[in-house]
Each structure stands twice: as C-alpha cells, then as structure tokens.
Structure 1
Amino acid sequence: MMTPLSPSDTLVRPTWARLKRCDVRGVWVLLVPEQVLYPCPTTVEVLERLATPTRFGDVLAALAQEYDAPIDVIEEDLGPLVSGLVEQGYVRRVHA
C-alpha cells in the first residue's frame, strides 16, 4: 500500500537514477542499476524537477501555475504517480 505524500515532504531523485534523453530513439530513459526504464512525459517532468531536494508542494505549485490548473487537481493526478516512484525507490524522501 502506497504511503500518501504531504506537500511538506522533501523529495529527491537518487544520484544513481540518471534521467537521460536518448536522441537515437527520441525518448527519455531512466537509467537505474541493471535496468533501463522508459518513463512517460509526466514522469519525466517530475523526475527533472527532483534532481535536487525539492518539496512536493513546490512541484505541485509550479506545475499548477505552468498548466494553469487547480493545485488540488495536480495533486490528485501526481500523488499516486510520485508515491509509486517513492515506493519503488526511484525517488526518496529526505529530511531537509
């Protein structure tokens, strides 16, 4: 069961989870030990923003402003996605 995220949670993509653009295939890849993952555009957007420790609420606010959408709608869409990334270890909660 996924643990819900709080806007005050600080998240970061671990340094071993490298997000790269594959120009040959024209897609983004997430390079993790012994795996290559092909994240969807929404996941890429989130992973790019979590290259450094960032509060989840700041990610939500930035995307709400960028897409001119209510923050609660953004949180409803991204909450499960980011929680899944945390559960899988591709994103970590950190103490800031």
Structure 2
Amino acid sequence: MNAQMVLTMGQEALIMLLMVSAPVLGVVLVVGLLVSLFQAVTQINEATLAFVPKLVAAMAVFAIAGPWMLSVLVDYIRRTFEAIPSAVM
C-alpha cells in the first residue's frame, strides 16, 4: 500500500460522505430557515416548533433517499474490501 492509494481511498470516502449527507442536511437547513423565518414573523419562540419540523423533514428524506444512501455506502464498503488484497501485496 502506497501513499497514493491511501489518499485516493480517503478522497473517495470524503466524497461519498458528502454525497450521502447532502440531501438530509440540505432539507433540514431549508426547513430550519423557513421555521426561523416563521418564528421571526410571528414572534413565537417555542423550542419544539423549531425541532419537530426538522425531525419530520429528516425522517422523510431518510424514507425517500434511504435506499440510495444505503446502496452508496454498500458499494463503497464492497470496493474497499475488494481492494484489501491489492493493498496488502
């Protein structure tokens, strides 16, 4: 195993991490922004009003994009395990 292989595997891991986490983080960010805007306009400062919609949005994204996220993770793990013999030699 040389330094180039380690750097390539690390780069692939970071890209995969960004791809898998982007949908959830993006939706929760937009929902949080909308809830904060609603709270600022109506002057309602309730902690559950900020938490519950983000939780529901995250659960919805996991329900919709979860199979895709899981397949991306499984493909990465499979490629990593398949690369072990060439890394040892």
More helix by share: 2
Of the two structures, which has the highest relative contact order with CA contacts closer than 8 Å and spacing of 6 or more?
Answer: 2
- With the length of structure 2 as denominator, give the TM-score of the two structures: 0.31
More strand by share: 1
